[in-house]
């Protein structure tokens, strides 16, 4: 007992606060190691959930694009949606690849746990020469799993790097576009191009200068000075703010400092280029395999878009893209009147502005509107209605209809705005008839053949 007491007394006591600090550090370190060692579970959960949920996103974005083109000119909105669609495909590709590779990794580890000795070369029916070659070319399960694990972690981080880069670009435009619009409203006498160029200089010249000085100081470090540092520091902070650099540069710098510059930048430029060029391909690329099938609309074709009874429906949802065109109730008509719907498209606003005349005091690039000082009355409605109707010229067979009565109308299924007019069928001969709707003279022509079957 004496010996034990002496041993206890010779052991220095650890201060309580020191013990608490060490315990806290050990607990934090243990938690970090646990999270690091098991983060593949989080990766697999996130990539799997996002991967499968993203399958519906491109279709939803495409319908939004079609609705935007239908309702407005929507150049900015359409461009944003096209890039969102391209980005969704990028996420599907990356996270899908990550999900499959992570599943492959789990399979390798599972097999290695069943057969801990892995490859037993002595039991394989191969001569020494073959085994020597195979041993240099084929890695063990654990080595392969380690490489696949590294690739999965890089793909996961790299995917969020690309996403944050795109968000940074979107943030940049989200900040600058409202400023340009505000300047247009405050100074309408100044051309929009001037404000755009000025904003471009304010935004991109500092970023360009930071990049240029970075390259210069790498080659000539002796130019570094306290004065230059005072000048460059706010410029670097400004650049980081504009592109949300605080969010993704930790990933970028980690990859850049551990992977060869050519490889990492090549991969980034490739994927970013795909995202940037995909919308252009969506707009510009098109091909047709029906070599001998007429693609030009004429009196000899019956386009489904012109007939309400031909409208495509999926789950009771009408294809809204068809509402860009005039339409009548059916391809075979027995009614006393042809019900003709003429859709309003904001692409026509420039022509409307030229036709509106001095009697209408308000016009905006997004369409007709009334200033707050002007009360909406039947008189102002009639002026706007006449301007909209003046775009169209309607003829049925050999008869030109120049005194049609028009009404403001919204399509009952989609609420798409437009005009509605009724053309009497009295006097039409049974069988085929041709309704022709022209816009802006003969710039745009719609040929709508139909059959009249009187009751």
227-260 tens-digit pLDDT: 888 888 888 888 888 777 777 788 888 888 887 7
pLDDT, position 310? 79
Question: What band does 3 get if pLDDT is binned at 50, 70 and 90?
Answer: very low
Q: At what angle do helices 226-242 and 245-258 cross, to 10 degrees?
A: 110
Q: Which of 254, 284, 314 is the last residue of a domain?
A: 284
Residue 11 domain-assigned? no
How many residues does the structure list for the chain? 455
Note the pLDDT of residue 8. Answer: 41
Residue 422 pLDDT? 93
- Vertex 326, ends 320 and 329: CA angle to 5°? 85
- Is 185 found in the same domain as 45? yes
Are 454 and 378 a contacting pair, CB within 8 Å?
Answer: no
Q: Which two tokens stand for residue 210?
A: 């930071």
Task: Say how far apart CA 413 and CA 415 lie, in whole Å.
Answer: 6
The share of the chain scoring above pLDDT 70, in percent, equals 73
Give residue-wise pLDDT tens across range 256-299.
888 777 777 788 778 777 776 766 666 555 444 444 555 566 66
- CB–CB of 435/399 below 8 Å? no
Six-digit token string for 173: 């435009």
Q: How far is CA 308 from the centre of its chain?
A: 31
Residues 280 and 372 in one domain: no
Same domain, 277 and 318: no
Note whether 271 and 308 are same-domain residues.
no
Supply the pTM of this predicted model. Answer: 0.50
Q: Is the pLDDT of residue 358 over 60?
A: no
Residue 333 burial (CB count, 10 A): 20
pLDDT tens string 287-335? 444 445 555 666 677 788 788 887 765 555 556 656 678 889 899 999 9
Q: Is the pLDDT of residue 36 over 70?
A: no
DSSP 359: T
Answer whether residue 211 shows pLDDT above 90.
no
List the domain range (segments joined by +) for residue 339: 304-452
Token pair 């160029």 is at which residue? 197
Q: Of the ranges 31-35, 48-52, 435-439, which is most confident?
A: 435-439
**Is 406 within the bounds of a domain?**
yes
Question: Which residues pair with residue 435 across a beta bridge?
Answer: 396, 448
Q: Are the C-beta atoms of 332 and 450 separated by less than 8 Å? A: yes
367 and 424 together in one domain: yes
292 in a domain, yes or no?
A: no
318 and 413 within one domain: yes
Specify whether 259 is located in the same domain as 350. Answer: no
Decide which of 284, 314, 348 is a domain's last residue: 284
The answer as to whether 213 is a domain residue is: no
Residue 340 has pLDDT above 90, yes or no: yes
pLDDT band at residue 435 under the 50/70/90 scheme:
very high
- Find residue 333's DSSP bridge partners: 452
Backbone torsions φ then ψ of 359, nearest 5 degrees: -75, -15
Query: Do 317 and 270 have their domain in common?
Result: no
Please say if the pLDDT value at position 70 is more than 60: no
Question: Is residue 423 in some structural domain?
Answer: yes
**Opening angle at CA 438, ends 437 and 443, nearest 5:** 155
Question: DSSP for 159-200?
Answer: HHHHHHHHHHHHHHHHHHHHHHHHHHHH-TTS-HHHHHHHHH
Residues 133, 275, single domain; the answer is: yes
Which tokens in the block code for residue 289? 């395999």
> Is the CB of residue 412 less than 8 Å from the CB of residue 339?
no
Residue 275 sits in the same domain as residue 313: no
* 49 located within any domain: yes
Domain endpoint, select from 219, 252, 284: 284
Q: Does 205 map to a domain? A: no
Classify residue 133: in a domain, yes or no.
yes
Mean pLDDT across 41-48: 70
Predicted confidence band of residue 12 (pLDDT cuts 50, 70, 90):
very low
- Same domain, residue pair 112 and 165: yes
Judgement on whether residues 181 and 261 belong to the same structural domain of the protein: yes
Alpha-carbon distances, residue 7 vs 1, 4, 307 (angstroms): 10, 5, 100
Number of structural domains the chain divides into:
2
pLDDT (0 to 100) of residue 302:
78
- Please name the residue that has the structure tokens 């944003």: 80
CA distance 404 to 385: 12
């Amino acid at each position: 007992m004496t010996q034990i007491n002496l041993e206890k007394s010779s052991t220095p006591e650890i201060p309580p606060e020191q013990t608490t600090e060490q315990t806290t550090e050990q607990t934090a370190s243990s938690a970090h190691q646990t999270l690091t060692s098991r983060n593949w579970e989080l990766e697999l959960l996130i990539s799997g959930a996002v991967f499968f949920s993203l399958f519906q996103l491109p279709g939803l974005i495409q319908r939004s694009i079609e609705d935007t083109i239908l309702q407005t000119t929507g150049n900015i909105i359409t461009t944003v949606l096209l890039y969102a669609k391209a980005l969704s495909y990028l996420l599907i590709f990356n996270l899908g690849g990550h999900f499959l590779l992570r599943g492959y990794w789990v399979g390798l580890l599972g097999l290695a746990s069943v057969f801990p000795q892995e490859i037993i070369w002595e039991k394989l029916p191969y001569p020494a020469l073959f085994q020597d070659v195979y041993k240099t070319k084929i890695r063990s399960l654990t080595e392969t799993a380690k490489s696949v694990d590294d690739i999965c972690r890089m793909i996961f981080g790299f995917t969020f790097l690309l996403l944050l880069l795109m968000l940074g670009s979107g943030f940049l435009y989200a900040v600058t576009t409202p400023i340009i619009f505000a300047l247009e409203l405050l100074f309408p006498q100044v051309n929009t191009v001037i404000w755009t160029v000025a904003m471009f200089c304010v935004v991109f010249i500092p970023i360009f200068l930071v990049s240029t000085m970075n390259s210069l100081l790498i080659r000539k470090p002796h130019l570094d000075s306290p004065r230059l540092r005072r000048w460059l520091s706010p410029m670097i902070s400004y650049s980081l703010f504009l592109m949300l650099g605080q969010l993704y540069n930790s990933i970028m710098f980690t990859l850049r400092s551990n992977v060869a510059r050519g490889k990492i930048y090549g991969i980034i430029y490739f994927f970013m280029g795909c995202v940037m060029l995909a919308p252009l391909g969506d707009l510009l690329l098109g091909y047709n395999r029906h070599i001998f099938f007429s693609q030009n609309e004429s009196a000899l074709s019956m386009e489904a878009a012109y007939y309400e009874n031909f409208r495509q429906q999926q789950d009771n949802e009408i294809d809204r893209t068809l509402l860009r065109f005039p339409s009548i109730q059916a391809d075979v008509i027995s009614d006393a009147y042809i019900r003709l719907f003429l859709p309003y498209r904001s692409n026509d606003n420039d022509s409307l502005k030229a036709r509106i005349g001095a009697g209408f005091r308000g016009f905006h690039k997004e369409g007709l509107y009334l200033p707050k000082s002007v009360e909406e009355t039947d008189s102002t409605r009639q002026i706007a209605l006449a301007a909209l109707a003046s775009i169209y010229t309607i003829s049925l067979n050999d008869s030109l209809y120049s005194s049609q009565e028009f009404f403001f109308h919204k399509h009952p299924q989609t609420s798409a705005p437009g005009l509605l007019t009724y053309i009497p069928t009295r006097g039409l001969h049974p069988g085929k008839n041709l309704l022709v709707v022209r816009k802006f003279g003969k710039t745009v022509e719609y040929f709508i053949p139909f059959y009249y079957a009187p009751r």
